[in-house]
Amino acid sequence: MRPRWRKVLLDLFENPTRTLLVVFSIAVGVFSIGVIAGAYVIIANDMSASYAANRPANIELRMDDFDRDFLPVIENAPEIGDVEPRRVFNIRARAANSQAWTTLDIVAIEDFDKNALNLLTPMQGQSKPARREIVIEREVLKEIDIQVGEDLVFQLPDGSEKTLRVVGIVQDPTTGADDFLAPPFAYITMDTLPTLRQPDLFNRIYATVQGNGNDAEYIRRVAADLKDRVEKNGVTVRRTRSALTNQHPLASTVNAILGILLALGVLIVFLSSSLIANTLAALLNQHLRHIGVMKLVGGRDKQVFAMYLVMILSFGLLALALAVPFGGIGAYALAEFIASQLSFNLLGYRIVPLAFVIQIVVGIFVPLVAGFGPVISGSRVSVLSAISGDLASETGSKPQPGAKRETLFERFENAVNAALLRRGIHLPRPLLISLRNTFRRKRRLALTLFTLTMGGAIFVGVFNVRTTLFAYMDNVGRYFVADVTLDFSRPYRLSEIEQVARQVPGVQYVEGWAFASAEILYPDGTVAENLVVLAPPAGSRLVDAEPVSGRWVQAGDTKAIAITEGILRSFPNLKPGDYLDVKVRGQQDRWQVVGLFKFIDREGLIAYGTYEYFSRETNLANRSVSFRVVTDRHDEAYQREMSEKLDKHFRDAGYQISQARPGLSALNNATESLDILVIFLLIMALLTAVVGAMGLTGTMGMNVLERTREIGIMRAIGAVDAEIMRMVIVEGMVIGLISWVLGLFLSIPITYGLSLIVSLAVFETPIEVVFTPLGYLIWLGLVILLSVLASVLPARNAARLTIREVLAYE
């Protein structure tokens, strides 16, 4: 090997810590971008492919009960392809050896052999149950500890229990794909329905369209026509849903979240590039004499440039060797996690060519770009300045042009020091040295501060986003103030239920709510949105509403609703006072929007009306099927306990209760899924913090190395090990603390930006940003810890050197 290339090779291993630092800084960026890009591609492809492979229905109609004779009405409708009727109902179930009830959505399928839509993927055992057998969706296993061959116990409306044998576990990637908070599914045949006291009738239609299954507008039009046709034939359609064949309903949400992670990944690459630039500038500085010698013996700029370029490429290749395999594994792990959360299958482990290419481009070009400046200036340095350190000392040559002057900071520091002295305050000399050392290499300090500040600001920003999301969920909780929700299979008088409920100790207040479901129509009569109207009594204590515009519903309101902001997706210009065309139980109507409020819109939109109006409209005046109960304590455990007590109490008294739910459970389910998002954000934030810490470690290492001679002099005049270490560590801490202060300010725009992107992805509406001191305090502790850790190794190295070693250092 030629000497110059051998020098490059040996330089790589000359300082293993420095090489590792550069390699790791590149690798962190390559890894994170590889994981996210890989997961992005895998999910973008597999999510919809897995979804499409199970032949999702384009149209779902939730209808009143209908029998087989009604099917031709749907099958012969224009533009309708395959049709499959099902009966879906919810029921409480438990394992035979457990007393914990869970609500399941049971899907009764006419003929499993002819199942052509919303296909089930077998996972274990059988996928086609016989009579009095049941197949469960794998999500059930999260709620109920049960295995194939064991019995599931079902609670019927009259309180009696029935048992069905679990014969298989399946995956259903399509049914309920747009609602990850829906209860898990289980599947039976129609002839099992009587066992569960259900009529042998259907209540849902799943259908495909004959035309383009990926044209949302077309599907919606066909669905509207089908609905009209069904209703004209005497069956009420409660809700219409439409979906594309080749796109998972949550694809845009997942892609938005992956987009945020991708942005953070790019930021990490950006930060690591500043770290690379810093380290390479220091390396070139340390190699100045080598460059001088090479130029002295005939080396030209381009030869030196090529040598260091090859060195950077080697750093990049080492980083790629480390990051690409882990990036691939990480990408699949992330994709698998998201797939398991959203119940779809991946098509198998594979290397994603795009992610591979991106990683290589990032691993090669980012270091080249980052190192270009330092290498160009290093290779262009004149022989004299390259070896002047040696020459000057040996030849007594005079100071060079532009010799060092007292800097502004030094003047400021001297002035502060003098002012303190006048007041009798003596700053310790070592502390002054630490402070001065901090600001000696300004470009290096600036890059280190930039990296550490960005890392900290993102870290703090993620905490703020977390608080913002949970504050929003708390806000949503204002619409769920009740501790227990009681749902009955048939309506009961308000006073009767209140009287029975109050017999349970701890019950303080009972309120019956009315409900209505409606479809909001575009002016052309097609369905824009599905709407559920919750109607508590006017002035209810159980809704602590805070409209963002207009007002809340009040006594005397008729045909008036307060609706969630989600309506603005379909009607961007809607204002309080405007009217919406709606279809309720087949009848067209017009309702006035009196106010808008923020809410999570997942399963259609929510609106609030008054009990007084809607109970009359639904022929349930003074009666209700759903009641809200307030208890004397409001924690989730107590709510759960009270739910069970009330459930038993009403059943014992002969009431047909379908379920009793603790008030916070739905909210907690929702916050759980937010937690997953926050965990991903935190992992990315920690990676940025790691890059920042690595930057600081590198800087401290370089600072100490360059000051080896000074340290020797200090030791020669009496500085002990502890004193040297303290000086280095204080310097590291000063940098850390400055970055923390800068991070305070930078975290504000980052918090706003991240919150906006996340809230748009998750809630489809901007939400109010909330700041928390928690992130700032944790980051303060972390930055101090990281600063100390980053300084300890260089400090120990400095303290270990003998005076002879350091004074001989060149």
Partner 1 sequence: MVNSLLSSVSSSSVAPLIELRGVVKTYASEAGEFTALKGIDLQIYPGEFLGIIGKSGAGKSTLLNMITGVDHLTRGEVIARIGPSPVSVHTLGENDLALWRGRSMGIVYQSFQLLPMLTLLENVMLPMDLCGLYHPRESRRRALELLEMVEIAEHANKLPAFISGGQQQRVAIARALANDPPVLVADEPTGSLDSVTADHIFDLFERLVEQGKTIIMVTHEMALMPRFSRHILIEDGELVSTLQPKAN
The interface region with partner 1, picked from 85-93, 382-390, 685-693, 749-757 by CB under 8 A, is 382-390
H or E stretch covering 236? none
Which residue in 78, 348, 353, 396 binds partner 1 (CB under 8 A)? 396
398 forms part of the interface with partner 1 (CB under 8 A): yes
Q: Which is nearer to partner 1, 411 or 426 (CB)?
A: 411
Give the residue carrying structure tokens 């599914």: 185
Q: Where are the alpha helices (DSSP H) in 478-514?
A: 494-501
| Phi, psi at 163, each rounded to 5° | -120, 135
Q: Does 397 bind partner 1 (CB under 8 A)?
A: yes
| Helix, strand, or coil (residue 460) | helix
Q: How far is the CB of 391 from partner 1 (least distance, A)?
A: 7
| Bridge partners, residue 582, by sequence | 520, 589
Angle between helix 429-438 and 408-422 (nearest 10):
160
Does 406 contact partner 1 by CB under 8 A? Answer: no
Q: How far apart are the C-alpha atoms of 303 and 283, rounded to whole Å?
A: 17
Dihedral pair phi/psi, residue 44, rounded to 5°: -55, -40
Per rule CB under 8 A, is residue 71 in the interface with partner 1?
no
Q: What size, in residues, is the chain?
A: 810
Backbone CA torsion sign across 359, 363, 368, 373: positive
DSSP code at position 17:
H
Select from 69, 99, 353, 405 the one that contacts partner 1 (CB under 8 A): 405
Question: Which of 97, 98, 210, 303 touches partner 1 by CB under 8 A?
Answer: 303
Shortest distance in whole angstroms from residue 426 CB to partner 1: 31
- Which one, 4 or 651, has the nearer CB to partner 1? 4
Q: What 3-state class would DSSP assign to 522?
A: coil
What is the torsion angle, in degrees rounded to the nearest 10, for the CA atoms of residue 529, residue 533, residue 538 and residue 540?
Answer: -110
Single out the residue of 78, 99, 114, 297 in contact with partner 1 (rule: CB under 8 A).
297
For partner 1, the closer of residues 306 and 760 by Cβ is 306
- According to CB under 8 A, which one of 68, 131, 197, 302 is a site residue for partner 1? 302
User: Which residue from 160, 163, 233, 400 is in contact with partner 1, where contact means CB under 8 A?
Assistant: 400
User: Quick check: helix, strand or coil at residue 168?
Assistant: strand
173 versus 299: smaller Cβ distance to partner 1: 299
Taking the complex as a whole, how short is the minimal distance between the CB of residue 21 and partner 1, in angstroms? 19
Nearer to partner 1, 398 or 422 (CB): 398
Geometric angle at alpha carbon 407, from 402 and 413, rounded to 5°:
160
Using CB under 8 A as the binding rule, the residues of this chain from 263 to 292 that contact partner 1 are 289-290, 292
Task: Give the number of residues in contact with partner 1, rule: CB under 8 A.
Answer: 40
**Shortest spacing between CB 372 and partner 1, in angstroms:** 19
Q: Indicate which single residue of 78, 353, 403, 418 sits in contact with partner 1 (rule: CB under 8 A).
A: 403
The residue from 4, 478, 502, 645 that contacts partner 1 (CB under 8 A) is 4
Q: Outline where DSSP puts E strands in 221-270.
A: 237-242
Stretch that binds partner 1, among 81-89, 297-305, 338-346, 559-567 (CB under 8 A): 297-305
Closer to partner 1 at the Cβ: 299 or 371? 299
State which residue, 342 or 806, has the beta carbon closest to partner 1.
806
Nearer Cβ to partner 1 (401/718):
401
Q: Does 407 bind partner 1 (CB under 8 A)?
A: no
| Beta strand extents in 465-618 (DSSP E only) | 484-493, 507-521, 527-535, 549-550, 560-564, 579-584, 587-597, 605-608
Q: Which of 6, 131, 490, 633 binds partner 1 (CB under 8 A)?
A: 6
Q: Which residues are CB-contacts of 721 (< 8 A; sequence separation ≥ 6)? A: 799, 800
Q: Which stretch binds partner 1 (CB under 8 A): 376-384, 702-710, 744-752, 789-797?
A: 376-384
> Element (H or E) spanning 209, and its range?
strand 202-209
- Residue 687 CB, nearest distance to partner 1 (Å)? 34
- Considering the complex, state which of residue 39 and residue 307 has its C-beta at the smaller distance from partner 1: 307
Taking the C-alpha atoms of residue 464 and residue 145, their distance in angstroms, rounded to an integer, is: 37
Query: Which tokens hold the place of 124?
Result: 């274990």
The residue from 301, 603, 612, 641 that contacts partner 1 (CB under 8 A) is 301
Report if residue 647 touches partner 1, rule: CB under 8 A.
no
Torsion angle, alpha carbons of 606, 609, 612, 618, to 10: -40
Task: Provide, rounded to whole angstroms, the least separation between the CB of residue 406 and partner 1.
Answer: 11
Q: Which residues of 731-770 are buried (b: 16+ CB within 10 A; e: fewer)?
A: bbbbbbebbbebbbebbeebbbebbebbbebbbbbebebb
Provide, rounded to whole angstroms, the least separation between the CB of residue 13 and partner 1.
9
Q: Is 792 exposed, middle or buried (0-12, 13-18, 19+ CB in 10 A)?
A: middle
Which residues in 481-510 contact partner 1 (CB under 8 A)? none
How far are the Cα atoms of 205, 220, 590 from residue 227, in angstroms, in the given order?
11, 10, 19
Nearest to 437 by CA among 700, 692, 697: 700
Least distance from partner 1 to the Cβ atom of residue 304, Å: 9
Q: What is the contact surface with partner 1 in residues (CB under 8 A)?
A: 2-4, 6-7, 10-11, 14, 289-290, 292-303, 380, 382-384, 387, 390-391, 394-401, 403, 405, 810
